[in-house]
A = this chain, B = another copy of it.
Amino acid sequence: MHTLSSVTHFRVRFRECDPLQIVWHGNYLKYFEDAREEFCKEHGFSYYDVRVRGYATPIVKSLCEHKLPLRYSDKFEVEVSFIPTPAAKMIFNYKVTSQNKLVATGETVQVFLDKKGELVLSNPPFFYEWKQKMGIE
């Protein structure tokens, strides 16, 4: 089975750096979200569909491990990969690189909640169909 992934390019903003002159660690979760958004756009996964069908997909786990710092105006890229699972979850892995060096890795896990805010235990039909269409189910 192939891996569905997407690469997004960034440049460190002034306000994202802290007094140590490096990107404040919490900002990586923003980069992950931007990369995830790009992934969804690129692979036809629509948050609009999610909402219209009455689902929400809150994040239940986020992890980031830092190898090297990023500084103001550094260019870097985030590769986000969809990690297949039979469970009703969306798992993404992240690889942050700059000038071919590994800067950070990460993971997020999202679940599906229905209109009542209850956890959905089996794959929502639209999600199952999207995975089939993408050849990852």
Contact = CB atoms under 8 A, between A and B. Distances in A.
A123 B47 CA distance: 38
Interface residues of A, number: 33
A66 B61 contact: yes
A59 B15 CA distance: 13
Looking at chain A's contact residues, is the secondary structure mostly helix, strand, loop, or mixed? mixed
Contacts of A59: 25, 66
A66 B17 CA distance: 21
A58 B17 contact: no
A73 to B, nearest CB: 8
Interface of A: 13-15, 17-22, 24-26, 29-30, 33-34, 37, 47-48, 56, 58-67, 69, 72-73
